[in-house]
Amino acid sequence: MNLISQIAPPGQSLTPAAIENAIAAACAGHDWQNKRVLLIVPDSTRTAPIGPVFKTLHRLISPQCRAVDVMVALGTHPPMTQDAICERLELSPAERAGEFAAPRLLNHEWDNPDALRSLGHIPAADISELSDGLFAMDVPVSINKHLFDYDRLIIIGPVFPHEVVGFSGGNKYLFPGVSGPDILNFFHWLGAVITNPLIIGNKWTPVRKVVDRAAALLPIEKLCFCLVVEGPNFAGLFAGTPEQAWDAASDHSDRLHILYKERPFRTVLSCAPAMYDELWVGGKCMYKLEPVVADGGELIIYAPHIHEISVVHGRLIREIGYHCRDYFLKQWDRFKDHPWGILAHSTHVRGVGTYEDGVEKCRVQVTLATSIPESICHEINLGYRDPASINPADFANREDEGILYVPKAGEMLYRLAEKP
C-alpha cells in the first residue's frame, strides 16, 4: 500500500478538494464491492476534523459496500449517546435521517468480556525485547469481537504527542481504542514505568512497539487516515497502513505540536478545554506541561467545569490516590493487583518523584482548581485552589517572571530547549 499525504501550507488548512483527492487516492487501490467496512473514530476528547473525512469516505465507498458502520474507539472512556456520536461525525439530524441513515453507530465495550474476542498473546520473550528488558511476561491480547463482522477496518484519528505511547494515532485506535483490558493495562503501566517525560513526544517508544505488535495479531485488512491539526487548521492528512500513516503523521506532529521554552517556570496555569470533562482526560493538562515546570514549582489545572475524577474509574482512583511511580514500585506487593492502567494514570498526573523511607517527594506540586471539592483533592494527594479565586488573565504575559499561562492545554507539548 502506498502512502498518500496532503500537507497544507504553513498557517493554512487543507482545502475540501485536497481532502477529497487524498481520500479518493487512498481508496482507489482497494476493492470495495460488497464489502462490510467498519470505521473506527475517536470520541469527543480528541480534536480533529473527523466529520469531513467521514462524510467524504462514506460518499466514496458506500455505493459499493454492503455496510459502512462506525465504532467509537473509547478505550476506557464512558460510552457516547447516539446524538453525541453524530456530533462527533458532524452529522446534522437531517443528514442522519437522510444520506447517512444507514451506518450503525457503535460504542466499544472494554469491560464487557462478552463483547471481546481473544487474539492470543504476546509471548514473554517478545515482551522482553519490545520493552527493552523492563518486563518479561505473557500478555493476553483481546479486541472488540464486532470487528470480525467486517472485511476491512478504516481508522480515522488525529496524531498528537502522547504521554503513554509517544505520539497518538495509528494502531493506538485499536489498542487501547477497541481492545480488552489486559493489553491496555500492561502497556499503560509500561509507559508509566518509563515515565511521561521520557515517553511523550518521542517516536519509537517501547509502548508503540507493543501496540504495533498487538495490531499484527489482528487478521483484518486495515486502512488508516492520520490527521494532523494546527489550531483550527487541518494541517495534514496521511493515508496508508496504520504503520505508514502514523510514521509520516507523527513527524508532522513533531514539527507542529511541540513548543520549546528557554527556561522552566515556577508557576504554570494550565487551562483545560471543555472537551476534558473529568480529571481522567483533564490530566493531559499536566502531561503536556510537566517538562517545563521548575523543580519545586506548581502546576495548576484550571477547570471549573470539571466535577468528576472519573465516572468510570473514580472509585479506584480515590482508593489509591495520585502518586509518583516509585511510590508504587517500592510497595509493589501492596499495589500489583490494582488495574495497572489506573496506576499509570495516577503517576502521569502526579509526575516524577521519589519514595524513600516511607516519604514521597514529587518534583512538582499539582493543584486542582476545579469543582472537585477540597476534601477530595487532599484525599487523593493533590493540592486545591478555589477556581473562583483565580482570574486567568492575571497569569498572562508573565513568562519573564517565571509564570506560564496556557489557555488551552492538553494537546501541545511544552519542552525545554536544549542549550548549545
Which of 226, 81, 112 minimizes the C-alpha distance to 179?
Answer: 112
Q: Are 97 and 68 in contact (CB under 8 A)?
A: no
Cα–Cα distance measured from residue 296 to residue 263, given in angstroms and rounded to the nearest whole number: 14
According to DSSP, residue 111 is labeled T
The model carries a pTM of 0.96
pLDDT computed for residue 406 by the predictor: 98
Cα–Cα distance measured from residue 176 to residue 180, given in angstroms and rounded to the nearest whole number: 7
Angle at 171 between CA 127 and CA 326, to 5 degrees: 50
For residue 355, give the H/E element and its range. strand 353-356
Cα–Cα distance measured from residue 172 to residue 302, given in angstroms and rounded to the nearest whole number: 28
pLDDT computed for residue 212 by the predictor: 98
For residue 238, give the H/E element and its range. strand 233-240
Integer angstrom CA distances of residue 181 from 113, 304, 398: 9, 31, 44
CA torsion 380-384-388-390 (nearest 10°) is: -130
**Cα 125–chain centre separation:** 28
**pLDDT truncated to tens, each residue of the chain (420 aa)?**
899 999 999 999 999 999 999 999 999 989 999 999 999 999 999 999 999 999 999 999 999 999 999 999 999 999 999 999 999 999 999 999 999 999 999 999 999 999 999 999 999 999 999 999 999 999 999 999 999 999 999 999 999 999 999 999 999 999 999 999 999 999 999 999 999 999 999 999 999 999 999 999 999 999 999 999 999 999 999 999 999 999 999 999 999 999 999 999 999 999 999 999 999 999 999 999 999 999 999 999 999 999 999 999 999 999 999 999 999 999 999 999 999 999 999 999 999 999 999 999 999 999 999 999 999 999 999 999 999 999 999 999 999 999 999 999 999 999 999 866
Using DSSP, how many helices (H) and how many strands (E) does the chain show?
16, 20
Tell me the domains of the chain and their CATH numbers.
4-256 (3.40.50.11440), 260-416 (3.90.226.30)
Grid cell 466514496 is found at 60
For residue 293, give the H/E element and its range. strand 293-303
